[in-house]
Amino acid sequence: MKLPRRKFLHLAAGAAALPALPRIASALDYPTRPVHFIVAFFAGSLSDILARPIAQWLSKRLGQQVIVDDQPGAGGNLATDMVVRAPPDGYTLLEATSANVWNAALYDKLSFDFIRDIAPVASISRTPSVMAVNPSFPAKTVPEFIAYANANPGKINMASGGIGSLPHVAGELFKVMTSVNIVHVPYRGSYLPDLLGGQVQVAFGPIPTLIEQIRAGKLRALAVTGATPSQALPGIPTVGEFVPGYEASAFNGVGAPKGTPVEIIDKLNTAINAGLADATIQARLAELGSVPVSMTPAEFGKLIADETEKWGKVFKSAGIKAE
């Protein structure tokens, strides 16, 4: 029996679509079990703190528990590798951060390519640092700091939480753009006691780490490192006001294994962006000196690519590599 051509083509098209139906149905039902949100740093870290309100929001919005799973190690590479190897089904997500970008420049050989192997889902926020000095330090402004550094090359110590940390990369960008000669002193633990004691003179530390000491007058804030002033530190200028083009802030967002269905990515993106519009989450981020940033998956992917290029140039110029 011969089928009319039109009917044959209709049946063939329907048959071709059948394998996709379970995948689409599964994506539409997502999630049907708890989701693990992998964070690359320890409990109580800024990354962990920023992840938790989003995870709580998603748990309510999606009707399944979203569990923050801290997996510190290898500067964030351990957690990323874990997600890269996970099934692309939306049940294992990564808190994608600037550390992923910095690691791409720091390490010559990684078991993954972050841009290739992690699908961008949504941006969450950007968190600037604050350029803070010990109150005994003579400079009270960024121009005064630059002038003092030029008059005293190699005599200013800059503290950081280690090679590739936000205080380190923010400080290195400052060094590259101003040509000042200051000495990087990486710490394995907290550098705050030595900054308060004057053993090191400056740090480009995350605002949540230093804000209480600044408010108490135990540290002096010279400027914030973001593109705009911080609500958490009213009256403090940006570094960019004195060093045109300077901007150094850490982003965080959500990524998924490559191959995760677009329907799941879009569902997560919509839910996360709704959370960033919620007044409670906005207030929580503001307390941490972090600014919510809503993006589409494509926009977040472009941000990651742009940041990878930017910091790759900075690290190459400064000769920074992992020890």
The domain locations on the chain are: 16-127+250-318, 128-241
Q: Are strands 220-224 and 118-133 parallel, antiparallel or unpaired?
A: antiparallel
Q: Are strands 183-186 and 118-133 parallel, antiparallel or unpaired?
A: unpaired
**Identical fold between 16-127+250-318 and 128-241:** yes
Report the C-alpha gap between 53 and 247 in whole angstroms: 26
pLDDT at 320: 86
pLDDT at 69: 97
pLDDT in tens, the chain (323 residues): 444 545 434 544 454 555 544 555 467 799 999 999 999 998 888 899 999 999 999 999 999 999 999 999 888 899 999 999 999 999 999 999 999 999 999 998 899 999 999 999 999 999 999 999 999 999 999 999 999 999 999 999 999 988 888 999 999 999 999 999 999 999 988 899 999 999 999 999 988 889 999 999 999 999 999 999 998 899 999 999 999 999 999 999 999 999 999 999 999 999 999 999 999 999 999 888 899 999 999 999 999 999 999 999 999 988 888 86
Arch. (CATH architecture) of 16-127+250-318: 3-Layer(aba) Sandwich (3.40)
Q: Which residue has the tokens 């997560």?
A: 268
Cα(first)–Cα(last) distance of the chain, in Å? 74
pLDDT at 9: 45
Contacts 24+ apart (CB under 8 A), 105-113: 105/308, 105/311, 105/312, 105/314, 105/315, 105/316, 105/320, 106/75, 106/163, 106/164, 106/315, 106/320, 106/321, 106/322, 107/77, 107/322, 108/321, 110/77, 111/77, 111/81, 111/84, 112/80, 112/81, 112/84
What is the domain class of 128-241 according to CATH?
Answer: alpha beta
> 298 with 125: CB under 8 angstroms?
no
> 191 with 107: CB under 8 angstroms?
no
- Angstrom CA distances, 91 to 73, 78, 244, stand at 21, 18, 43
Strands annotated E in the chain: 35-39, 66-70, 92-97, 118-133, 157-160, 183-186, 202-206, 220-224, 249-257, 291-292
pTM of the predicted model as reported, rounded to 2 decimal places: 0.85
pLDDT at 8: 39
